Amino acid sequence: MPLVDLKNIYVNFGKEKILDNISFNIDYQKIITLIGPNGAGKSTLARAILGLIKISSGTILKKKNLRISYIPQKICFNPNFPITVEQFMHLNINKHNKNIIHMLKQVHSEHLLKQSVHSLSCGELQKILLARVLLTVPHLLVLDEPDHGLDMNGQILLYQLINKIHRILSCSIFMISHNLHIVMAKTHEVICLNRSILCRGTPKMISDHPSFIKIFGNYYKQQYALYCHNHNDKNSLI
């Protein structure tokens, strides 16, 4: 059985159909990237997989004892509640400080240990969140636009870290991203969503698909041509 098996998922908010007959699997160690325009239902789909919202119909079967880590699109810390990176790393996680420092090193952030989480840049916060993922050792990592607010360099570094986590944990990744040109080299499957699944397949197949081109024009196709590379290529971005 796959890690997650979605069959004929519908989600309505009031009278509005947000997800329309969604079916797919998340298999072992696979990286799936979900793309689609704003309001397409991408975050809703991620939250449905996590069990954070009630689906209107359909079934979501998960492997027994499946451990999922989730990094949402937005994280708001209470400004009145002072908390350091070290304290944040310990929240709900029973690990020794030396494990925490080791994981922070994995994401090149050990120097942030005593810093307030309120003072972190977007890129630093994402790295801290990824260090927490390493501590929780999930089978499945769900990332909702992890590159939000990062510049090009920050995005490339972040995706390098995500790939490193994929290697270290051998986990599956279900990721929402607009940056197909950066993530596609390592993505096994792309799902293009606009309330329903418009098309799905390998990045190369997707970038030629008429439904995809209708929504995204030739933007990704050109980017794909730029970034497509041999995985042994020394100039490879990720």
Residue 25 makes CB contacts below 8 A (sequence gap 6+) with 2, 4, 5, 6
Closest CB to Mg ion among 71 and 103?
A: 71
Q: Binding partner of residue 219 among ligand ADP, Mg ion, none, CB under 5 to 8 Å per kind?
A: none
Smallest separation, CB 12 to ligand ADP (Å): 9
Closest CB to Mg ion among 138 and 146?
A: 146
Which residues face 17 on adjacent strands? 12
Smallest separation, CB 54 to ligand ADP (Å): 10
Tokens of 153: 């360099």
Cα separation, 174 vs 66, in Å, equals 14
Smallest separation, CB 179 to ligand ADP (Å): 15
Closest residue to Mg ion in the complex (CB): 43
Spatial contact of 29 and 172, defined as CB atoms under 8 Å apart: yes
H-state helical runs in the chain:
42-50, 85-90, 97-106, 122-136, 152-169, 180-183, 203-207, 210-216, 219-227
Question: Which residues lie near ligand ADP (CB under 6 A)?
Answer: 13, 18, 36, 38-44
Give the torsion through C-alpha atoms of 135, 104, 176, 206, to 10 deg. -100
Q: Binding partner of residue 39 among ligand ADP, Mg ion, none, CB under 5 to 8 Å per kind?
A: ligand ADP
DSSP 195: S
Q: Binding partner of residue 9 among Mg ion, ligand ADP, none, CB under 5 to 8 Å per kind?
A: none
Q: Binding partner of residue 128 among Mg ion, ligand ADP, none, CB under 5 to 8 Å per kind?
A: none
Q: Which of residues 43-62 bind Mg ion (CB under 5 A)?
A: 43
Smallest separation, CB 235 to ligand ADP (Å): 33
Q: Can you give the binding site for Mg ion, defined by CB under 5 A?
A: 42-43
